[in-house]
Amino acid sequence: MSWLLVSPILIPLAAAAVSFALPERRMAQRTVAVGASALLLATSLLLLVEVATRGMVVMQAGDWPAPFGITLIADHLAAIMVVISAIMALATAVYALVDIDPAREGLGYHPLFLVLVTGINGAFLTGDLFNLYVWFEVLLISSFVLLTLGNRRAQLEGGLKYVAVNLVSSLFFLVSIGVTYGLTGTLNMADLAIALKDVPTGLVTILAMLFLVAFGIKAAIFPLFFWLPASYHTPPVAISAIFAGMLTKVGVYALIRAFTLLFTQDVPWTHDVLLWLAGATMLTGVLGAAAQNEFRKILSFHIISQIGYMIMGLALYTPLALAGAVFYLVHHIIVKANLFFVAGLAQRMGGSFELKKLGGLYRHSPLLSILFIIPAFSLAGFPPLSGFWAKLVVVLAGVEVGNWAIVAVALVVGLLTIYSMTKIWQAAFWSPTPEGVTLSGLPQKRLWVPVAMLAGLTVVIGLFSAPFMNLAEASAAELLNPAGYVEAVLGADAAAEYDVPIVLEETP
């Protein structure tokens, strides 16, 4: 089933090529983007079913044996991330049919969007560090152009901050790759899992910190997050939503992969650092959100705070904690992108993203109010929505190991998240329409489709959480048993050489 493994990369890449070849035919580009996203979702679901029923799917490009060739691999985590990427791609493609203006379409929005999706999926499926770097660069280039598309001053300022900091991340990543190859002679991640065991622990820990900086910038963890709230509120909503949903999660995915497969030699130290960073990320993000009064800026800071919960799950490094981190990833991608879509609908009705210039949306559009409450309450952790289960599992993992400090931080951040969502509700929806402001008619129906779809998915995950949690637990089991990953890529003999690390049940 190798065609299933490569399809999440080839489908958007081929669609991007077709779209680039149709520069003056905007309707055809729209059709290609939506059609490719729908096909991507179908094949991604098949890939997840294949992984869930038969185990990891591996392909060696050109039949070159690992670790010498290019490896693609889908375990539960990668397959889940590809599916959620496809859902976001389809939702964004439909929303963009109305949200992206003809001028930006003429500048290449649709093919650039498809290249972005290609880079995201490539990062999830690659089995070696150098190709992970390549896919990160595909992400960086396409996202930078999308961020600045339209040449507005605010976009250019935000885009310059975005690209400058992410170029620093790429530099750290490239240096880390060079040091890794110099120490081990390989960049295949399965092979590295074995080779790094022969490297002195101190050197491996230093290497782990280099990768932590590189991936931490992309994941927007403390103190490396300042580029995100400076840029994510500047482009059109469709672009903000796909960025908010997916881009930082590629960084989180890379951190999870690196600190469960590669850097497990000194878990008490490395994961303790991750735990401190998780707590700081949660607190700084939510406090930044509480200080804002612009719809998308509040949501941007909440991306940061919620990333902290995912890193908390990784740092605790228990089966329950890692399952919670994976579940949180899925929940947050859906909810955060949907909140940006809702912000776009509110702006179309009220004419602004500034809360003080909004008001009366509850009376003007009860449907929009409901579609805001669902993801907002889920983000805050209200039952029975997906966010409740995500927060509950991560918090229970902290309780399980007796780390009451990080549990307290997580609970306080949850309360402050409620405050931020309530502030948006009070100002934009419940308060009277400000004097001099006239609310416009309801936006086009096509804008409502992805919002309703993602809100429905949030409710479904909350009400029927068991199968989703089962997938998260299967992901955690694979992450805590790297020998299975090594065997899938290199074979049983290589797996026999791999000494499975002890999983700490105590707080790192």
SS3 content of the chain, % helix, strand, coil (to 5): 80, 5, 20
Per-residue model confidence as pLDDT tens for the chain (508 residues): 578 999 999 999 999 999 999 888 889 999 999 999 999 999 999 999 999 999 999 998 877 887 888 999 999 999 999 999 999 999 999 999 999 989 889 889 999 999 999 999 999 999 999 999 999 999 999 998 898 887 667 667 777 788 888 888 899 999 999 999 999 999 999 999 999 988 999 999 999 999 999 999 999 999 888 888 888 888 899 999 999 999 999 999 999 999 999 998 889 999 999 999 999 999 999 999 999 999 999 999 999 999 999 999 999 999 999 999 999 999 999 999 999 999 999 999 988 899 988 888 988 889 999 999 999 999 999 999 999 999 999 999 999 999 999 999 999 999 999 999 999 999 999 988 888 777 777 777 889 999 999 999 999 999 999 999 999 999 999 999 998 999 999 887 777 776 544 343 443 3
CA angle 361, 452, 139 (to 5 degrees): 105
pLDDT for position 499 = 56
Residue 153 burial (10 A CB sphere; 0-12, 13-18, 19+): exposed
Which residue type, as a one-letter code, is found at position 261?
L
DSSP sequence for 178-219: HHHHHHHS--BHHHHHHHGGGS-HHHHHHHHHHHHHHHHHHH
* Local structure of residue 467 (DSSP, 8 states): H
Q: What angle do CA 459, 460, 464 make, to 5 degrees?
A: 120
Give the largest CA-CA distance in the chain.
Answer: 74
Q: Give kind and range of the element (H or E) at residue 72.
A: strand 71-74
Picking from 264, 354, 349, 362, the residue whose alpha carbon sits closest to that of residue 314 is 264
Asked if the bond preceding 508 is cis, omega within 30° of 0, the reply is: no
pLDDT (0 to 100) of residue 504: 37
3-state secondary structure of 365: coil
Output the six-digit token pair for 195. 């080779």
Collapsing DSSP to helix, strand or coil, 502 comes out as: coil
